[in-house]
Amino acid sequence: MVDSQEDTSTPSASEEKPPVTRPKRRRNQPLKVANQIPKQRRMEIEKALEEPSSTPRKWSRTSSWKSHRIGKKLIKPGTIRNLEFDLMDVDIGESWPIPVTVIHGIRPGPVVTIIGALHGNELVGPLALTYLQSSNIMGEGQAIDPLTVAGTIRIIPIVNMPAYRRRMRYMTDGRDLNRFFPGKEDSNTTSRVANRLWNELFSKSDHIIDLHTAALGRTNMPQIRANLANRNSNRVARSFGIEVILDSQGPKGSLRRTADENGISCITYEGGGSDEADPESIQIALYGILNVLRSLKVIPGYPSRPRFRLLASGSVWLRSDQGGLLDVLTPAGSFVEEGELVATVSDPEFPGLSMEIRTPTQGLIICTATHPFVTTGTPIGHLIPIKKGVKTVQKRLDQEGILVLSGSDGEPPWRDDEEVEDISVEGEWEGGSPDAEWGENHSSAAEEEADEG
């Protein structure tokens, strides 16, 4: 962890001492992080992938294929149905219906559930899933045709409708729906909704793609999070066709973790911020979903692949040591050198003073703060240290030094999987306990908020 526990340099408001910049002090500290998957974790992943029980299910493309059932509704093979699913099972009062589109293919295959707005103010998912259903998504005048689909695609653009209507992250009782799975039928409102969603929809999936953005006050460079020791999640995460994949199980009660514990593959996509509709994040989400569906052979066509993949399990939080107003100089997606200035903090009550925040190591900034108010300790950026494959990453930077993500500059090219450079899996973990960054530090409430948007 780069944060110093014995930081005594923070001046109080009454002292006239100018703020001290951090990099000098930091250079003297051993840095206990690397982007590489730790050796022990890598062995865990490899072992899990070798187990016969984790072999992906094979679908007979010729066997008979039944109607798809959601509650009492039956959807016939080769059809599309738009239906409503009630979040609450009540006779009186609000039942909170949410729209569900089912594209039930003509041939057998996996059930893929794709969802947005588990957090009500995260709008990249709802927009991407609306566009996924457009009449031009498969080419001029071509929607996804159930007669070409093998398996079932269930599209749920807005899961947390009560929060979405209120333009908020949380459910009406102030709880985070993505911390209550699998839920209980006799507990609080959020837990009951989670339980109904889990029992009726999510647990009956083979694969789940869960679309998110950063929480309020932050923005994420598009990235995937998945438990890479789950064979199917690993496969789906890679097939999304994106450069950055974080090996992470997700917080307790999150859909990703719950699905994983129940043998269902689940990946979380993070792109952009809350309360905004970042066009690049929407576009990359759309390409990613099509890539997954193609890779699973649910829809026809070849998936596109990125030039390289960063498989990361370590990361560094950049924090402000001072309070005041933040100015971020390197947006999410920036490749930064060690000691590079990434942000300044100033305080209108102390005009003329400006505190610098510099990077402790070379790497890629995958998340930045967007809210200018900071106090000492506020995370202002999330950095993946990059020590290997630097040249490969640098080849894909624009003039501003920002990573040009696959899919952000038009339809990405088809590429053989062998041509994709996996940068960090072969690498070595450099000191510290394997889960130092992902483990304890991320389980505190604040960090969890920052980590899982």
Which residues of this chain interact with Zn ion, rule CB under 5 A? 119, 122, 212, 453
Q: Does residue 282 contact residue 213 with C-beta atoms inside 8 Å?
A: no
Alpha helices in 240-278 (DSSP H): 255-261
Nearest distance, CB of residue 174 and Zn ion, angstroms: 16
Q: Which residue has the tokens 């100015």?
A: 327
Residue 119 CB, nearest approach to Zn ion (Å): 4
Minimum CB separation from Zn ion for residue 215, in Å?
Answer: 7
Q: Which is nearer to Zn ion, 220 or 322 (CB)?
A: 220
Nearest distance, CB of residue 306 and Zn ion, angstroms: 23
| Residue 192 CB, nearest approach to Zn ion (Å) | 20
Cα–Cα distance between 32 and 25 in angstroms, integer?
15
Phi-psi region of 12 (alpha: psi -120 to 50; beta: other; left: phi over 0): beta
Q: Indicate the residue among 270 and 321 with the shorter CB distance to Zn ion.
A: 270
Q: Which residue has the tokens 């009062």?
A: 93
Strands 363-369 and 265-273: unpaired
Q: Parallel, antiparallel, or unpaired for β 308-312 and 421-422? A: parallel
Question: Which residues does 139 contact at the CB level (< 8 Å), separation at least 6?
Answer: none
- What is the smallest separation between the CB atom of 408 and Zn ion, expressed in angstroms? 21
Alpha helices for 54-188 (secondary structure H): 124-132, 161-165
Residue closer to Zn ion, measured from CB, 255 or 286: 255
Nearer to Zn ion, 340 or 452 (CB): 452
Q: How far is the CB of 421 from Zn ion (least distance, A)?
A: 30
Q: Between 119 and 238, name the residue whose CB sits nearer to Zn ion.
A: 119
d(Cα 39, Cα 313) in Å, to the nearest integer? 11
Rounded to the nearest whole angstrom, what is the least distance from the CB of residue 257 to Zn ion in the complex? 14
Q: Which is nearer to Zn ion, 270 or 437 (CB)?
A: 270
Side chain identity at 450, as an amino acid letter? A
Cβ-closest position to Zn ion: 212
CA distances, 207 to each of 89, 120, 202, 254, 417 (Å): 25, 22, 9, 15, 21
**Comparison of 325 and 446: residue with beta carbon closer to Zn ion:** 446
Which is closer to Zn ion, CB of 119 or CB of 179?
119
Closest CA to 113 of 78, 104, 181: 104
By beta-carbon proximity to Zn ion, the closer residue of 122 and 260 is 122
Stated as kind and residue range, the H or E segment containing 451 is helix 445-451
Q: How far is the CB of 264 from Zn ion (least distance, A)?
A: 19
For the bound state, the minimum distance from the C-beta of residue 403 to Zn ion, rounded and expressed in Å, comes to 22
Q: How far apart are CA 447 and CA 442, in angstroms?
A: 5
10 Å Cβ neighbour count for 38? 23
Of 394, 395, 389, nearest to 424 by C-alpha is 389
Q: Residue 321 or residue 449: which is nearer to Zn ion going by CB?
A: 449
Which residue from 53, 32, 20 is spatially nearest to 434, judged by alpha carbons?
A: 32
Write the CB contacts of 46 (distance below 8 Å, at least 6 apart in sequence): none
User: Which residue bears the tokens 């005009």?
Assistant: 351
